[in-house]
Structure 1
Amino acid sequence: MADTLASWRDAALLLIDHQVGTMSWVKSIPFEEMKRNALMLARTAGILKLPVVLTSSMEGHAQGPLLSELETILPTAFKSRIQRAGIVNAMNDEKFAAAVKATGRETLIVAGVTNDVCTVFPVLTLLEQGHHVLVAADAGGSPGKMADELALERMARAGATLLGTNQLLAGLAGDWSTPEGGELVAVLSQALQA
């Protein structure tokens, strides 16, 4: 599938394991920056009315609950989130895979914590299935810089498009002067001034 604004706008957003415990293990990017980027993606999906699939792993353990802000920003997706019992590759979870399929979207925007575990494996599966995958690389991270670089390189080699969240938002906006573009500028400026 072509890497075009039209295909981006016809995407679904998959947010994988943005849990407070798991996020605390990340050292390749500052916690607050990673959190800000994940929440910008969530707000963007709401503005553009993109389907969203949220998933978490073992919320009652060290991984902890999903970011509480996600419940406020995406209440429907939060309520119907897929709570995995520990399956590493979210696409190997039948409920998550079914929720992704139910979006009907060929283009998928993926952000996960951590990039070296939670993101890389489902991205590789989605690519094998023929999806066009955009990875918001800075809405996740890894316990170490090398681990993050290796995971991002592996996804890129497999065919994923790696982007920073700001670049992704700009591409989705296409034109800041439209009503949706104006809302996205507000999301971006509010997040960057926080």
Structure 2
Amino acid sequence: MKKLILSSIIALIASYSFAQKPSPALLSPTNHTLVLIDYQSQMAFAVKNQPVELLRNNAALTAGASKIFNIPTVVTTVAAKSFSGPVFPEINEFYPASATTIIDRTTMNSWEDLNAHKAITGKGKKILVMGGLWTSVCIVGPALSAINEGYTVYVITDASGDVSKEAHEQSITRMVQAGARPITSLQYLLELQRDWARSETYKGTTDLIKKYGGAYGIGIQYAQEVIKH
């Protein structure tokens, strides 16, 4: 009888832990490549669809998530020395220029650049996650091009910016109509974590949110220091 009860408990725990397989439409640390496009000072000056300080935080959440979960990542710039300038400090925090090969281009569509295209497709992932500046040019171009070649494309909408709210929103609409999947920066991070029992990435995830996650980050700080949770 005891053996029967014990086996029933074990079966119950197993069914609770592995009740359902997650949807293949969810992002995981192993199923995609992240492409960070043109997070540069000159490109940020004209952003009007959201405050630049919020854009920078969202870019940091995205780049930080890729480091915590070891996501294959490509960082690319356009005309860095002649026009667009250096990448955001929030990108350099996780991908220092001295330690990372940042691919500079002349093409507005990174998919048309030989080195960028080779770096992105060379990661061997058929799912691409993209974010950058500007949505209507530097994200629309590679997103539509990749979809045309059979890739599944996610666009991190709040980590992308454009010269107006309309320009940004119409660009997202155009990409969604072509099959792209919109996602936000915090959603990206939490979708990768998925389970708070994943202790190996728990601290990195919560520390990143405390630093760049706005009100949610303050809430985590409060819980950890006051509620001791």
Q: Taking structure 1 as the reference length, what is the TM-score of the superposition?
A: 0.91
- The equivalent residue for 1:18 is 39
- The equivalent residue for 2:129 is 109
Q: Which amino acid in the other structure matches residue 25 of structure 2?
A: D
Quick one: distance in 1 between partners of 2:193 and 2:186? Answer: 10
Residues 76 and 50 of structure 1, relative CA distance in 2, 3 Å threshold: farther
**SS of 2:83's equivalent?**
coil
**SS of 1:149's equivalent?**
helix
Q: Which amino acid in the other structure matches residue 86 of structure 2?
A: P
Describe how 1:135-150 pairs up with structure 2 within 5 A: 135-150=155-170
Once the two structures are superposed, residues 84-124 of structure 1 have per-residue CA deviations (whole angstroms, 9 ceiling, x without a partner) of 02x11100000000001111111111001011111111000
Q: Is the 8 A contact 1:59 1:83 kept in 2?
A: yes
Q: Which amino acid in the other structure matches residue 26 of structure 2?
A: T
- The equivalent residue for 1:33 is 54
Q: Is the 8 A contact 1:55 1:81 kept in 2?
A: yes
The equivalent position to 2:211 in structure 1, one of 184, 190, 193, is 190
Quick one: distance in 1 between partners of 2:89 and 2:99? Answer: 9
- The equivalent residue for 1:3 is 25
- The equivalent residue for 1:55 is 76
Q: Identify which of structures 1 and 2 has the higher relative contact order when contacts are C-alpha pairs closer than 8 Å and 6+ apart.
A: 1
Residues 25 and 78 of structure 1, relative CA distance in 2, 3 Å threshold: farther
Unaligned runs of 5+ in 2: 1-22, 218-229
Q: Is the 8 A contact 2:56 2:90 kept in 1?
A: no
Residues 177 and 189 of structure 1, relative CA distance in 2, 3 Å threshold: farther
Aligned length: 192
Q: Is the 8 A contact 2:59 2:91 kept in 1?
A: no
Residues 37 and 110 of structure 1, relative CA distance in 2, 3 Å threshold: same
CA deviation after TM superposition for structure 1 residue 18, in Å = 0.2
Q: Which amino acid in the other structure matches residue 164 of structure 2?
A: G
**SS of 1:135's equivalent?**
strand
Off by >2 Å, runs of 4+ in structure 1: 68-72, 75-79
Q: Which amino acid in the other structure matches residue 110 of structure 2?
A: A
Quick one: distance in 2 between partners of 1:4 and 1:138? Answer: 18
Q: Is the 8 A contact 1:34 1:138 kept in 2?
A: yes
Q: Is the 8 A contact 2:186 2:213 kept in 1?
A: no
- The equivalent residue for 1:132 is 152
Q: Which amino acid in the other structure matches residue 145 of structure 1?
A: K
